[in-house]
A and B are shown apart, each in its own frame.
Chain A
Amino acid sequence: MPSTLPENPQQSLDKVAQVELSQPAEGISILRLGGCLDLKCATRLWSELPGKLSSLSSKTLEIDASGIESCDGAGMALLHHLASGGMTPGVPVHLSGLRPEFDTIFNSYSAPSGEDPEDPEGAPAKLSIPAGIGSALSGVKADFIEQISFIGHISSGIASTVFDRRMMRWPEVLRVFESAGVNALPIVSLISLLVGLIIAFESSQPLEQFGAQIFIANMIGLVMIRELGPMMTAIILAGRSGSAFAAELGTMKVNEELNALQTMGLDPVRFLVVQRVVAGVLLTPVLTLFSMIMGVLGGVIVMLSLGFPIVAIYNQIVSSVVLGDVLVGLAKGAVFGVIVSFVGCLRGLQTKKGPSAVGEAATRAVVSGILLIIVADATFSIFLFLLKK
């Protein structure tokens, strides 16, 4: 039963492809291709041919390609797919008549022996769910071990570098102090002031029911000085400077600057990380102090607007907050500063290859930084509680 594919009449005459499918004898189909087998025509044939071919239910398929005058990559892909039996599974296909000038391009579609294009090497294998969980957990474990060993590396780096004037590079410490500390003052002050304001304002309403609004002063003093002052500072620092450290070191790693340092016999930890950690330890308590003052100021503003005299507010705060609370807050600040700069540098040094690697390192620095700050704060609370007992 002969059947032909009608041509698209809209195509221009000189660019037309001739396609003719016939079945001269039972079980033998002949596909004649000719003219210009281009992208447009190949796209159409790719969707039409499989249906036509399967409706013929032939035992062998002969492809006569002698009429093909020109052919692009898409046309050749179609021809190759046809010739390798991709559209007629289980049916032997025989291709004949292809002009010799198309040989090179036609052959570029067949994989030479030894190359397996269907499973290109390096394709990541899909893991089952338990295997995925296991692999993620082992990643967490490896990361934990790396963090511990990095703490050791930094500690030994600090011990050996701080008194070595040439390696310590104090100007670099000052630069970090300025960019991560001084320049962060406005944002830390503003956020702390607003946090203090919000807490005082929100608590004034329930406390009013008990006539206990004067205790807003006690609360704001304790909360801002012991908890939120250090915490807000550290979180801002993690977002602002931890990510900057990671991006800075990450870019250096991508540009092979870290390799260059190592070739010169300079340890990146001693040359780059120690300065940032030292700057972090020095600047965070200062920023924390600012944050405490601004937070308390926010509370004071609310109380003044509620009509309390400034002397009463002062007496309340001084009676509830002792020097120990301020020292605890500053100690927390120092610890958080170490965490932020340490995690930022670690994530920066762990930067992988590729264009998104630096961004990923910065993200990881912020996420791990904030997580570790909260964990450290919880540890502080438990430790101080046990100490009091």
Chain B
Amino acid sequence: MSDRSNPVIRVRQLSIGYENRVVLRDVSFDVAPGEVFVILGGSGCGKSTLLKHLIGLHEPIEGEIWIGGENLVASGGEHRRRVMQKFGMMYQSGALFGSMTVLENVRLPLDAYTDLPEKAKTLIALSKLRLVGLAASAGKMPSELSGGMQKRAAIARAMAMDPGILFLDEPSAGLDPITSAGLDTLINQLSERFGITFVIVTHELPSIYSIADRVIMLDGRTKTIIAEGCPHHLRASAPDPWVRQFFNRQALGAA
């Protein structure tokens, strides 16, 4: 399924941080097309910061980020905007605009970037909402939705422009196991049927086992990647005992 020789995201020697404080250094990895790629790590180790750098919200201290064959770090202005259209992002809280209905939220990127007629934009937005199972709530305001529904609506909005890559920040945090499993199924379907590449930050081990093709694990002490590979494989035979413990102990706790 994944074509490792031609990655959609390529990160090289990336160092990131705030002001003088380095959060992560010398991070390199590739994400293959259609892959579900999970970024793991204890809280405060820089997972969300890394994600914010990958989508170009922050500038790295040094290093390169290539998305779809274009260098995000070196690009600016109009070019950067075009690179950023290749992906969609779901924020931890959903970040739906509270003054618009769910349908208007999903339509927003279409309104901003396309010249399609109204009817077409509504059709597309509704179809995205139907994919996440929310078409019946299209006319509601975000505040009328539950937390899980808000996250699904945010995924629909991220998909509005048919991006090849979706970044999800903690999609299952704070959701019940059934809703969270439903979200995992949705991610698997989207990756298999539409070949969408996912980059996901999450803590939930059950969900990692069911969706992740590959994980990288960040470490707050060494400030870099300490493990990389298939989660089942890492659980059994990671070289670092701490990583094995992370996978096994949490798995026991979650079982």
Please list the residues of chain A having a beta carbon within 8 angstroms of any beta carbon in chain B: 39, 42-43, 46-47, 72-74, 76-78, 80-81, 86, 101, 104-105, 108-109, 111, 115, 117, 119-123, 353-356
Contact = CB atoms under 8 A, between A and B. Distances in A.
B116 A43 contact: yes
Contact of B117 (A47, A73, A104, A354): A47
Contacts of B119: 81, 86
A325 B101 CA distance: 56
The CB with the most chain B CB atoms within 10 A, among A42, A46, A122, is that of: A122
A91 to B, nearest CB: 18
Contacts of A354: 98-99, 141-143
A81 B138 contact: no
Contacts of A72: 162
Nearest to B194: A105
B251 to A, nearest CB: 32
Contact of A353 (B124, B136, B138, B143): B143
B138 A120 contact: yes
Given A47-B117, A122-B140, A122-B144, A73 B135 contact: no
Given A108-B128, A108-B131, 18 more contacts: A39-B162, A43-B116, A46-B117, A73-B128, A73-B159, A73-B162, A74-B120, A76-B127, A77-B123, A78-B120, A81-B119, A109-B123, A117-B135, A120-B139, A121-B140, A122-B137, A353-B144, A356-B99
B138 to A, nearest CB: 4
A120 B103 CA distance: 9
Contacts of B117: 46-47
Majority DSSP secondary structure for residues of B touching A: helix
Contacts of B138: 117, 120
A77 B116 CA distance: 10
The CB with the most chain B CB atoms within 10 A, among A43, A73, A356, is that of: A73
A81 B141 contact: no
B144 A109 contact: no
B116 A46 contact: yes
A355 B140 CA distance: 15
23 contacts: A39-B114, A42-B116, A42-B120, A43-B116, A46-B120, A73-B124, A74-B114, A74-B116, A77-B127, A81-B120, A104-B193, A105-B193, A105-B194, A108-B128, A108-B131, A109-B130, A120-B137, A121-B136, A121-B139, A122-B141, A123-B101, A123-B139, A354-B143
Contacts of B120: 42, 46, 74, 77-78, 81
A74 B144 contact: no
Contact of A122 (B126, B128, B139, B193): B139
Interface in B136-180: 136-144, 159-162
B115 interface: yes
Contacts of A39: 114, 116, 162
A81 B114 CA distance: 17
Nearest to B102: A120
Given A74-B124, A81-B123, A105-B194, A43 B135 contact: no
Contact of A43 (B114, B139, B160, B162): B114
Contacts of B160: 73
Given A42-B120, A81-B120, A104-B193, A115 B127 contact: no
A115 B124 contact: no
B142 to A, nearest CB: 8
Contacts of B115: 43
A117 B135 CA distance: 7
Interface in B96-119: 98-99, 101, 103, 114-117, 119
Nearest to A116: B136
A115 B123 CA distance: 14
Nearest to B189: A104
B2 to A, nearest CB: 18
Contacts of B103: 120
A356 B160 CA distance: 25
A42 B160 CA distance: 15
B86 to A, nearest CB: 13
